[in-house]
Amino acid sequence: MYKSYLKIGWRNLLRNKGYSLINIGGLAMGMAVAILIGLWVFDELSFNKYYKNHETIAQVYRSSIFNGEREVNTPLVTGLGTLLKTEYGQHFKNVAMVRSRTEERVIAFGENKFVQAGYFMEAEGADMFSLDMVGGSRSGLKDMKSIFLSESLAKKLFGNHDPINQVVTMDARWDLTVTGVYKDLPKNTTFSDATYFAPLSLYIDGWATLDSWDNYFVNVYVQLYPGGDFEET
């Protein structure tokens, strides 16, 4: 019975080739669009879900009035991040300031030199964003002359050798000790392009301070304690 159905269907397709091609093409295109939309929705809904603490993390924005219209944006001043730590620290498990954009720097070890994109970040950020460490620990960015490398960058620089406690140079200017290696971050995360994290204090290095109110160059992130509520905070 099914064979006869298939034969009849096949004959109809051959008899009406043009009409059949239009229908089949439309169906294929519709399915492709539906799949793409589904993948896009999944990507949007899962954005930053990689971070284990994503429900307790928020980015701080500034609101201002310009030409009679309200604007909400970043970056922020370091003074705000420091104020949140010193005056309101009891409300937050972590407060971390991160350079507001990626910085492309030359990272070198011996003859291996690569221009890499990364971020300058306060030490608390490693725990806040639950970096998945494959070497070292999340507390490794406390020293100004330290650096975390992504697993892929560590492989490029050191091959199969252990990079922990090795010294790399940045821009032929700073000698930095590798204190941590983290798994590369997924594409649907805020810091997906980070091949390194270095201390924010290294970026500042004398030209600014952590309590400045006139240099807008950091993003500020806060993390509540488990069970905390952003509206109450």
Cβ neighbours, 10 Å, residue 74: 13
Phi, psi of 189 (to 5 degrees): -130, 160
pLDDT at 220 over 80: yes
**Model confidence pLDDT, tens digit, residues 151-166:** 999 999 999 999 999 9
Cβ neighbours, 10 Å, residue 95: 24
The pLDDT-based confidence of 94 (bands split at 50, 70, 90) is very high
Quote the pLDDT of residue 30. 77
Quote the pLDDT of residue 14. 67
What are 39's strand-pairing partners? Answer: none
Quote the pLDDT of residue 155. 98
The pLDDT-based confidence of 81 (bands split at 50, 70, 90) is very high
Interval 75-87 mean pLDDT: 96
Token pair for residue 10? 């096949």
Question: What is the distance between the alpha carbons of residues 58 and 230, in angstroms, rounded to a whole number?
Answer: 9
pLDDT at 43 over 70: no
- Window from 19-28, 95-104, 139-148, 195-204 with minimum mean pLDDT: 19-28
* Cα separation of the two ends of the chain: 69
